[in-house]
Structure 1
């Protein structure tokens, strides 16, 4: 396995869970195709293995925010699914994307001009999705810019430079389904679609629903839904239900061994600034994961408020003291018999009461998306498959060496 596999921690990713999650998402949106969003190294799960599993689960589209991600998917042999990429600046390798049959989002006039130039250089029509900003206030054409650009896009389509494939947008409050902004964006999006179709656009797909809307708002599933975090088994609306409530299974388990165990006296501080001081004689353990690996420093703990949860020997304990760059300390309790080499689980499926990424998010004051995507590249992703009869090809992740086991 080489040097990377000797790293004393790992993120285990169950590809069967990703396949199962995509099937569940398809069931939530039976009238739509599924685009599995695999940006940010598949939310930290490993780009190519996760994308391959998502396609095996029924995804017919893949979403990659960055052009290099989209090109990496094609280079890895993922030729079947459609791939959309949407976040790029002037001078991006758009010709390579067109040549690789990658769909391109257009969110500004300059971007459309560069797409047309790339298509002509490639000698083939670029597949284009116009993104309209319906109220998120982020990327996308304003309603007036959308209306102004549309005639130029249709002229370029008539000239054979582009094919206007879709219109899309992104919700600002999808995780709050009853928020009035959701309905306002639905109306604005429907108007943009109507404008395009009345102008003669022959759209293949209209897409607005992300993970939260896929699970909670069937009225906007349209032709295509774009789940991201839910593909990896985490709930985008934890206030409404956990993964199991939506038929999802968390795919990633972050684990490491104890690398040191020792007795520690009462009244002694642990870790930087002695934020945690023991109240009695105890046993402490060292876990070789820290903020350089993505463990949030905000999940540090005190004696009164334990930090991020850790499953050790069947019991859930908390980080004791400051999260360090490479390690955290855990108070194992008086008389603990844990030993170096014993497994520690930071988060996983939650089975048996174990901690989850959502538990860490609550302690750190963030969202589960950040917990999984921030896991650093030096932590090996180990891809396993819990379906005994499944056949999985080993495909290295760009971020770490991988192991794929049946």
Structure 2
């Protein structure tokens, strides 16, 4: 009787701990999704974080409005950037679109702006081109600042609409594409993943091969393994300080994509070495002996017998390392920078998704936008983990055949 009570009590503790863990996970993910899901859309994924100002060249062509006035009033582009409607909207025939005056919020400042609130399907704005003749997409939340060199600042909505209607021939419209997107951050993150893995994978695999196949058991090998285990437990900010002092300052690589990739590669090395080493150890000794007995050299045995058998474990380690790169922030703040742009070269700075989430939460206090970025990060990590499991299973089946 007493043993049964103890067993039930222990079982209850296990269930309770599991329930608490699962609840915390659901709460965290749920909080991120509830706070940020409203901002996640196509524009959020395809626009840069910073605003873009450019000139659009549009043909002057009258287009009748296909909806009534009440429906037009419902076509509002309001989101977190637009605080309130001041005037309008007013439909302007010769651009086939409606404009409205709103209070525009940019970080901590607010000012009035003219915003495109509705565009007809056959509007000339849908065929706009930039100064090079390249077609461009103008959205319903774009800010319109001037037309043919005449600025709209200080004009009422009626005066601005009349000014547009009085223009003839080709129209040169100065527009602002709103920011708040993460396109450049996604691309920078992918660059960081690619470069850091290109550096870390060969070094990690070769290091594991040495420890498993060549090194003789002893103090030296034990010291290397102990050092790798210690490195995997060191906070990433320490790696960031090293990367800033060595790569950025000593090697003069500047705060750049390359400095960040080299720093992250060092962070990944212990994980790849240990995981690869364990994968190599699972290959039966008989495989090695059989290969050597058939006349193969040790190097041939390693690359043609041992490594192929260990590929599932190595692939899993690599894909999980990608998740580590995606989630890294502290080290990259000091080595890759916080500039929300697509790096033009290896020596250009850039901001990954996690760094951008930190920036908007800490510097701007925009928790909703930070959570929206967090959703993108969570989705990427989930996809990578699924790919890790699928690839590992398929490679296991292939090797068994």
* Category of TM-score, reference length = shorter chain: under 0.3
Please give the TM-score of this superposition, normalised by the length of structure 1. 0.26
Task: From the CA coordinates, give the structure whose radius of gyration is larger.
Answer: 2
Please give the TM-score of this superposition, normalised by the length of structure 2. 0.26
The structure where helix makes up a greater share of residues is: 2
The structure where strand makes up a greater share of residues is: 1
